[in-house]
Amino acid sequence: MDITIAILLTIATAATPLLIAAIGELVVERSGVLNLGVEGMMIMGAVGGFGAGYLTGSAWLGLLAAIAIGALFSLLFAVMTLSLATNQVATGLSLTLLGLGFSGMMGTGFVGLPGQRLPDLYIPGLTTLPVVGEFLFGQDPIFYISIALTAGVAWFLFKTRAGLTLRSIGDSHGSAHALGINVIRYRYMAVIFGGACAGLAGGQLSLVYTPQWVENMSAGRGWIALALVVFASWRPWRVLVGAYIFGAVWIGQLHAQAFGIPVPPQILSSLPYLATIVVLVLISRNKRLTMMNTPASLGQPFVPDR
């Protein structure tokens, strides 16, 4: 029983960064913008979070810095794609390349240093409850943020007027503009929200998951988060399910390596990436489902006419 709980806890820790980054990207894509820079914003959040945590000695300040850096970095993408109407795919790619370069440069001095770790929640009486106690009441703070974020985004998109507006922009920016909605302003907000989420996800990596700085420590999680949004057909709660499936695959292959299963570790390490491909194929096979849910203006630049 204890082992099951321990594995569940590690799965939650592995799933949380995927969930947060994917929820942020979901809002961005719902507004009709495709930001392929998730990996870059995430790694910037990771290095910023680690650095601020190390320099100030406070993991909480590290977390705030991670969010701020992610948001700032996404602003670059927003100015390029929204104000200058550049190609979103290419700009997102360049954001990722720039982020990987910048983080490597900033992090050179951080390699091998001990980091700060956010403390786990502890509520006397509740955390010590048998079986469910530790899973529900004894995890790191970002776990709870990730669940609240999912619920908040689901509520915002489907239960508020602003959420409806955002979705309408994603489906037809031309009509939204004709109705007098400020398309560009909504999209700026969405992209910056996505950047803050990706930064937070990166902060989780360097402040909770492995409290240290390793170059390229996001290891493709930003790209998997992008795939999760497609997998979830742009619905928040399905993102949560997908993130936990991927968290389980990620943890499963690590445990398989530890158990000494006679398969080369490199093959096991490639499982999360192969699983992403399989999942994408399964989802995209159903053309009607994807056509119905994909925001219709996704990836198209928008320039307001007079």
Partner 1 sequence: MRLELIKRPQRSALFSILSPFIAFVLTLVAGSIMFALLGVNPVSALHAYFVEPLSQVWQLHELAIKAAPLILIAVGLSVCYRANIWNIGAEGQFIMGGIVGSILPVTYPEFQNAFVLPLMLLMGMVGGAAYAAIPAFLKARFNTNEILTSLMLVYVAQLLLDWIVRGPWRDPKGFNFPQTVQFSDAATLPELWPQSGRANWGFVFALVAAVLVWLMMSRMLKGFEVRVLGSSPRAGRFAGFSVGRMVFFAFMLSGALAGLAGISEVSGAINQLLPSISPGYGFTAIIVAFLGRLNPLGIVAAGLVLGLTYLGGESAQAALGLSDKVARVFQGMLLFFVLGCDTLIHYRIRLVGMTTPKLEPASKLEEVH
Residue 119, sorted as left (phi over 0), alpha (psi -120 to 50) or beta, turns out to be: beta
| Comparison of 54 and 223: residue with beta carbon closer to partner 1 | 223
Q: Is there a contact between 136 and 9 (Cβ–Cβ < 8 Å)?
A: no
Could you give the CA distance from residue 126 to residue 108 in angstroms, rounded to a whole number? 42
Interaction between residue 94 and partner 1 (CB under 8 A): yes
Interaction between residue 264 and partner 1 (CB under 8 A): yes
Contact characters 107-136, partner 1, x per CB under 8 A: -x----------------------------
Q: Number of residues in contact with partner 1, rule: CB under 8 A?
A: 45
- Cα 122 from chain centroid? 26
Q: Is there a contact between 32 and 170 (Cβ–Cβ < 8 Å)?
A: yes
Q: Which of residues 280-299 bind partner 1 (CB under 8 A)?
A: 280-281, 284-285, 287, 290
Residue 105 CB, nearest distance to partner 1 (Å)?
Answer: 4
- Residue from 55, 151, 179, 267 in contact with partner 1 (CB under 8 A): 267
Question: How many H-runs (helices) and E-runs (strands) does the chain carry?
Answer: 14, 0
Stretch of residues binding partner 1 (CB under 8 A), selected from 67-75, 140-148, 173-181, 216-224: 216-224
Could you give the CA distance from residue 237 to residue 258 in angstroms, rounded to a whole number? 32
| Comparison of 98 and 126: residue with beta carbon closer to partner 1 | 98
Amino acid at 48: G
Interaction between residue 254 and partner 1 (CB under 8 A): no
Interaction between residue 175 and partner 1 (CB under 8 A): no
- Residue from 14, 59, 71, 76 in contact with partner 1 (CB under 8 A): 76
CA angle 273, 274, 275 (to 5 degrees): 90
- Residue from 214, 273, 293, 300 in contact with partner 1 (CB under 8 A): 273
Could you give the CA distance from residue 288 to residue 263 in angstroms, rounded to a whole number? 39
Interaction between residue 83 and partner 1 (CB under 8 A): yes
Q: Is there a contact between 210 and 46 (Cβ–Cβ < 8 Å)?
A: no
**What is the chain's alpha carbon radius of gyration, rounded to the nearest angstrom?**
19
Ranges of H-type helices in 130-207: 133-137, 141-159, 161-171, 173-178, 183-204
Interaction between residue 189 and partner 1 (CB under 8 A): no
Interaction between residue 227 and partner 1 (CB under 8 A): yes
Mapped onto helix, strand or coil, the DSSP state of residue 87 is coil
Could you give the CA distance from residue 239 to residue 148 in angstroms, rounded to a whole number? 13
Interaction between residue 38 and partner 1 (CB under 8 A): no
Stretch of residues binding partner 1 (CB under 8 A), selected from 79-87, 125-133, 135-143, 252-260: 79-87
Could you give the CA distance from residue 25 to residue 18 in angstroms, rounded to a whole number? 11
Largest CA distance in the chain: 66
- Residue from 78, 80, 176, 239 in contact with partner 1 (CB under 8 A): 80
- Residue from 24, 32, 51, 99 in contact with partner 1 (CB under 8 A): 99
Interaction between residue 277 and partner 1 (CB under 8 A): yes
Where does this chain bind partner 1 (CB under 8 A)?
Answer: 36, 76, 80, 83-87, 89-91, 93-95, 97-102, 104-105, 108, 219-220, 223, 226-227, 230, 264, 266-267, 269-270, 273-274, 276-277, 280-281, 284-285, 287, 290, 303
